[in-house]
Amino acid sequence: MSWFTNLFRRDAKRKPARVVRVARVRNLIDPTLNYAQTTNGARWAGEGFDPAEYDLTEIGQVEDTESLVMQAHKKKVALMFKEGHCFFSQNLKAKDYIEKRIAQIGRASGKSWNAIVRSLGHDLVRTSNAFLVKTRILEDSKGRAISGGKIRKTPEDQKLKPVAAYHRLSPETVEIKRSKSSGKITHYRQIMPDGSKKIWSKDSIVHFVFNQKGHFNVGTPMLVPVLDDIRALRRIEQNVEILVYQHLFPLYQYTVGDKDMPADVYTDGEAEIDLVRREVELLPAEGMIVTPFHHSIEAIGAEGKALKIEGYLEYFKKRIVAGLGMSQVDFGDGATANRATADNMSRLLIDDVKDYQEVLSDQIQTFIISELLLESTFEGDVLGKDFAVGHRFKEIDVDTKIKKENAALLLYQGNAITEDELREALNRNPLTDEERQKLFMNVVEQPMMEKEGELAIKVGNALPKPAAAGASPSSGGSAKTKATKKAVKTKSQPTNQHKTNPGPTKKKSYRLADRSFRTRFNELEEDVLGLYGRDGERVNTDYVRQIVLGGARQVKDEYRGRVVDAMARGARKGGLVNGQATILAETRAAPLIDRFDFDVSRLYRDVNRLVGRILLSNSNDKESEIKIAFNSLRYRTKFIEATDMARAENFGRARALAALGFDEAISIQHGDTDDICAELHGQPVDIRGIGIDQVPPYHPMCNCELVQPEQTNDN
C-alpha cells in the first residue's frame, strides 16, 4: 500500500467535529487582573465587598439640587421611551413564549414590563449602572405555579429555579465581591445608610452597565467630568447673590459745602453738617430733600468698576450643558439658532439616546431573554439562531425612520432583499397567514380588480362586434353593426354627384391605440351620433350608456400606462436611474391612477347624464343638442390630461428626491400669473411622506413644478 493511500486512510479515521450547543458553553475565567484602588480613594477590601469606583450617591445629590442635570436626565429618559420597545424574532413561538413569561414576571413583580425597563433606562442615564434582583421560585406554599419556566442546570451542573420576578436595586447601595483566586464576581451586597445589609449570589443579580472601563466593577457615570464645572458655577452664583444683596439698597453720600462755600457753624454752636444729619434721620420714607446749590447727594455703587460676571456664568453653563450631552435648544433656549441648526443640535441628543437604547437592548437580550429561553421546554439549541429572540427600541427619529423605510422598500422592489429582510428592516415581525390576508392588496386591490374585470366583460359583450379581417359585409357581422357603420360612414364619406369622398381614414373606436384623451372623446361623440342617426327615436338609452361606460373604461386602461410613464419621467428628473425610476413609479402610482380614473369617471357620468336627458326629452333637434352637450364638456379632456400628467410627473420627482434623502423641494412658477402659484413660488415643500394633493399643479393647467433646492438659482 502506497503512502498516498495511507494518507487518505488516516483522514478517513479522523473524528468529525463536535457540535456544541451555545447553552452548554461554560463561562471561562478572566486571566487578567483588576484595578487595585478605587477612584474615590477607598482601598480594595480583598476578600470583602468592594464599593463602586465612583461615588454614585453624589450623582443623586447633584441631580436633586441642579435643575440642568435633572432636566437633562428627564429629557433623555423621555426620548428613550418615546416610541416604545418590543421583542422580535423570526420564530413566532419563541417570541410568544418570551412575551408570556414577561407578562407573568410583570404580574409577580407588581410592575409592568415597561415600568421595569424604564427604571433600568433611568438608572443607566443617571449612574451608568442598573441592577435587578431575581426572585427564583417555581410555585408558592400551596403548590400554585408562579413561574412558567422549568428548573434548569447550568454548565457547572448547578440547579436553578426559574425566574419569577425582577425587582429594582438602587445602584448607590451595591457593593461587589470577587473571588480572590479567579477574580470572578461571586456575590453582591446591598448596604443601607442605617447599616442594614443583604447579600445575593451572582445568579440572583442582573447588572446592566454603560460606559464601563476595563476591569472596573461599575460603569463610569457621564456626570463625573461635569461635577467640577457644576461646583464652580455654584460658587460663582453664590458670589453673585452676595453682590446683589450688597447693592440691592443703594448707599447715598450727602455732601455739605464745597471749596468755595464750606460748611458753616451757626452762632449756637451747631454745625451745618449736624443739622443735615438730623434732617436725614427724621426724613419719612416717602419724603424728599430740597438742597441749596452747595449741597449735593450722590449714590455710591460699583460705578462700572466691578468685574463683569455674565461671561463667566455663561461659559460654565455652556460647559455643563455640553458635558450633559445636551444643547441650549434641547432646554428650550433657541437663542439665535435657525431651524437647520436646531435640528442638527437635537440630532446629537438623539444619537446619544440611541447609544443608551442599543446598550440596554443588547444586555436585556443577553441577561434576561437568554435565561428565559434556557428555562423553556423547547427542544434543541435554544440559544441558537432558530430560537433567537431580540429586544429593540422603536425608531425615535421619525425623519430617519421614513428614509430607512423608503430605502428598504426600494431594495425589496428591486429584488435585492427578501420579504423577511424587509420586515426586519421595518422593525416588524414576519407576516402570519392571517395578517397577509388583511393586506391592502387582498382587502382592496384584488376585489376592485375582480369587479372591474366583471364590468369589462359586461361592457365588452354589449359592444358591437367588429367583423373578421377580410370578411365582406354580406358574409359576417350583425345587422346593428352594419347599420352603425353605414350611418357613421355616411357622415364621414358622403356621396353626391361627384361620387364618394373617401375622407379621413379612422381607426375603429374601441381599439386601444396611442391617441389623446380629446381624440377618444371625439370618437365617442361620433359613435353616439352614429347610433342616434341609425335608430333615431327608437335608440336604446341603456345601450348608449354602455357605450359611454365602455369609452371611459377604454380611456382608463390606455392612460394607466401613461400615468406610470409620467411618474417615472419625474423620478428620473429627481435623480433616480431608469430602473429605480420605473420601480418607484410602478409601486407608487396607484393614487395617481385612482385620481385620473375618478376624473374620467366624473366626466363620462356627466356625458351619460346629459345625453340620456336629451334622448328622453321631446326635443325636435336632438342631434344638435348632443353636439352641444359634447362641446360643453370637451374642454375638460384637456384639463384632465394636462393636470393629471403634470401631477404624476411632480409626484414622481418628489418621491425620488425623498428617496435620495432630501427633506424639501422648491416650488417654481412657470409662465402663469395665478396668485396661488405666485405665493408658493420659491417656497420649500416638505416631501417627507408627501401625497398627491401636496404637489403641483395647484389648479387646472398650472405650470408649476418641484425642483431640488440647489436648482432654484438656475431656474
Q: What is the pLDDT of residues 67-124, one digit of tens each?
A: 899 999 999 999 999 999 999 888 889 999 999 999 999 999 999 999 999 999 999 9
Contact 300, 250 (CB under 8 A): yes
pLDDT over 50 (residue 336): yes
Cell digits of residue 670: 412657470
* Lowest-confidence segment of 329-343, 437-451, 672-686 by average pLDDT: 329-343
Q: Radius of gyration of the chain from Cα atoms?
A: 43
398-413 helix and 635-659 helix, angle to the nearest 10 degrees? 110
Q: What is this structure's pTM? A: 0.56
Cell digits of residue 616: 328622453
* Lowest-confidence segment of 177-186, 341-350, 397-406, 452-461 by average pLDDT: 452-461
How many angstroms separate the CA atoms of 173 and 193, rounded?
8
* Lowest-confidence segment of 98-107, 334-343, 429-438 by average pLDDT: 334-343
DSSP H or E stretch at residue 606 = helix 590-616
Contacts of 612 (CB under 8 A, 6+ apart): 541, 544, 545
Give the chain's mean pLDDT.
80
Contacts of 313 (CB under 8 A, 6+ apart): 233, 236, 237, 240
As a whole number, mean pLDDT of residues 375-394 equals 90
More confident residue, 458 or 617: 617
pLDDT of residue 463: 41
Q: Which of 410, 454, 425 is nearest to 549 (CA)?
A: 454
For cell 434721620, what's the residue?
Answer: 281
Enumerate helices (H) and strands (E) in the chain, giving the number of each.
Answer: 23, 17
pLDDT over 90 (residue 129): yes
697 burial via Cβ count (<10 Å: 0-12, 13-18, 19+) = buried
Question: How confident is the model over 559-600, as pLDDT tens digits?
Answer: 888 888 999 998 888 888 888 888 888 888 888 888 888 888
How many angstroms separate the CA atoms of 662 and 178, rounded?
54
Q: For a pLDDT cut of 70, what percent of the chain falls above it?
A: 79
pLDDT of residue 468: 46
Q: For a pLDDT cut of 90, what percent of the chain falls above it?
A: 21
pLDDT over 60 (residue 482): no
Q: Beta strands 163-169 and 174-178: pairing type?
A: unpaired
pLDDT over 50 (residue 14): yes
DSSP H or E stretch at residue 163 = strand 163-169
* Lowest-confidence segment of 224-228, 262-266, 385-389, 474-478 by average pLDDT: 474-478
Contacts of 110 (CB under 8 A, 6+ apart): 165
pLDDT of residue 7: 46
How many angstroms separate the CA atoms of 533 and 485, rounded?
11
As a whole number, mean pLDDT of residues 223-243 equals 88
- Phi and psi (nearest 5°) for 196? -70, 145
DSSP H or E stretch at residue 390 = strand 390-393
Edge-to-edge, what's the strand order for the sheet holding 185-191? 174-178, 185-191, 197-201
pLDDT over 80 (residue 387): yes
pLDDT over 60 (residue 509): no
pLDDT over 60 (residue 216): yes
Contacts of 407 (CB under 8 A, 6+ apart): 659
How many CA atoms lie within 13 Å of 382's alpha carbon, on the beta-carbon side? Answer: 20
Q: Which of 398, 535, 373, 294 is nearest to 79 (CA)?
A: 398
Amino acid letter, 381: D
More confident residue, 108 or 244: 108
For cell 387646472, what's the residue?
Answer: 700
pLDDT of residue 481: 43
pLDDT of residue 24: 62
Cell digits of residue 177: 465581591
Hey, where are the domains in the chain? 1-223+324-396, 440-463+476-494+516-711
For cell 455703587, what's the residue?
Answer: 301
Going by pLDDT thresholds of 50, 70 and 90, the confidence category of residue 402 is confident
How wide is the angle at C-alpha 79 spanned by C-alphas 76 and 80, nearest 5°?
85
pLDDT of residue 72: 92
pLDDT of residue 392: 92
* Lowest-confidence segment of 203-207, 341-345, 561-565, 566-570 by average pLDDT: 341-345
28 burial via Cβ count (<10 Å: 0-12, 13-18, 19+) = exposed
Question: How confident is the model over 351-378, as pLDDT tens digits?
Answer: 899 999 999 999 999 999 999 999 998 9
More confident residue, 660 or 340: 660
Contact 125, 211 (CB under 8 A): no
Q: Which of 221, 169, 211, 204 is nearest to 190 (CA)?
A: 169
pLDDT over 80 (residue 282): yes
For cell 370578411, what's the residue?
Answer: 471
- Phi and psi (nearest 5°) for 187? -145, 155
pLDDT of residue 134: 94
The torsion angle over the Cα atoms of residues 655, 661, 664 and 666, rounded to 10 degrees, is -70
As a whole number, mean pLDDT of residues 483-506 equals 46
How many angstroms separate the CA atoms of 77 and 125, rounded?
7
pLDDT over 80 (residue 443): yes
